[in-house]
Amino acid sequence: MADVANEAMRQAWDGPEGESWAALADRFEHARQGHRAVLLRAAGLVAGENVLDVGCGNGASTLEAGVAAAPGRVVGIDLSSAMLANARARAVAAGMSNVSFVHADAQVHVFEPGSFDVVISNAGAMFFDDQVAAFTNLHGALTPGGRVVLFVWQALDENEWLTELRRALAVGRDLPRPPVGMPGPFGLADPEHVRDLFTRTGYSDIAIEDSRPPMLAGLDVESAFTFMSQESPARGMLDDLDDAQRTAALDNLRIVVAEHATPEGVFFGTAGWLITASRRSA
């Protein structure tokens, strides 16, 4: 993979992090189907539009965009070769000839200027280490008047799926808080920062909307517990525990998961920003 700037993110996503997400692809896509629905409804894709899906992962949002925009082409771009292998296999299985995938860093990848009508991203646009460079690059890839539609996480305290996980696994520790504005899940969590960033990089019609689709962790307690205990935040919080602490933490997690069980499944609250903007026509 050429043209990479985010070396730390590349090592994570084209390494253990991406391999974990690839192994849990079906669970992630079921968990966040509501987020994809919010994103694609806001994108309002129409037949014939060309779409770029940034941080496409295992390809669920790319394939859904491919259906909505056909016969327009839809390109998914991601740092993870493992997830892209899943995405390509799924596109072939679905017989979707208008969908393709690129193993590259969208921050620095050389796109054909003005080649996309829409840029979308489902919780994949927060990991750039140079946000100005990244969104300038994406701006250049859009047609004049083209639009960008992103779903990104709000701050930690608004996201029950993560605060509850931290509550369960802390076992007496004061866990570090993920930073806002840095490469990571909360890189675009500050709306004022987002407005300034998008203004500086050439966008207009900037709107930031509160969006809170629930996360379906599993259809029952056992499947939800298995999924949440294998997610990367949980693995990170469990890494430095001894056997007794680890057992206690996982017991806590099972209790927390059970507290969120309903007849329809195990749900946790999430909070995101739905960011929309346009490339200025001139």
Q: Give DSSP secondary structure letters for 164-189.
A: HHHHHH-TT--PPPPPSSSSSTTTT-
- Buried b or exposed e, range 55-71, using 16+ CB within 10 angstroms: bbbbbbbbbbbbebbbe
In a domain, 226, yes or no: no
Most distant CA pair in the chain, distance: 62
Evaluate whether residue 161 is within a structural domain: no
- Single out the residue of 139, 114, 113, 145 nearest to residue 54, CA to CA: 139
Q: Is residue 73 part of a domain?
A: yes
Residue 57 falls inside a structural domain: yes
Q: Please list, residue by residue across 252-271, b when 16 or more beta carbons sit within 10 angstroms of its beta carbon and e when fewer do.
A: bbbebbeebbeeebbbbebb
Q: Is residue 50 part of a domain?
A: yes
Q: Are strands 99-103 and 74-78 parallel, antiparallel or unpaired?
A: parallel
Structure confidence at residue 3 (pLDDT): 61
pTM of the shown model? 0.94
Give yes or no for residue 2 having a pLDDT over 60: no
pLDDT for the residue numbered 30:
92
pLDDT number for residue 280:
77
Given a contact cutoff of 8 angstroms between Cβ atoms, the answer to whether 232 and 253 are in contact is no
Does residue 52 contact residue 141 with C-beta atoms inside 8 Å? yes
Burial class (CB in 10 A: 0-12, 13-18, 19+), 110: exposed
Model pLDDT, residue 11: 85
Q: Quick one: pLDDT band at residue 103, thresholds 50, 70, 90?
A: very high
Rg (CA), the chain: 19
CATH at residue 204 = 3.40.50.150
Token output for 273: 């920003």
pLDDT in tens, 32-41: 999 999 999 9
Domain encompassing residue 86: 7-155+180-216+267-279
Tens of pLDDT, residue by residue over 152-169, are: 999 999 999 999 999 999
Residue given tokens 């946000």 in the structure block = 131
pLDDT, tens only, 219-269: 999 999 999 999 999 999 999 999 999 999 999 999 999 999 999 999 999
**Number of domains forming the structure of the chain:** 1
Q: Cα separation of 254 and 237, whole Å?
A: 15
Residue 9 is predicted with a pLDDT of: 82
CB neighbour list of residue 99: distance below 8 Å, 6 or more residues apart: 59, 62, 63, 66, 73, 74, 75, 76, 91
Q: Give the three-state DSSP class for 125.
A: coil
Instruction: Decide if 51 is inside a domain.
Output: yes
Q: Is residue 41 part of a domain?
A: yes
pLDDT of res. 96: 97
Q: Is the pLDDT of residue 6 over 80?
A: no
pLDDT band at 4 (very low <50, low <70, confident <90, very high): low
Q: Output the six-digit token pair for 259.
A: 């507290």
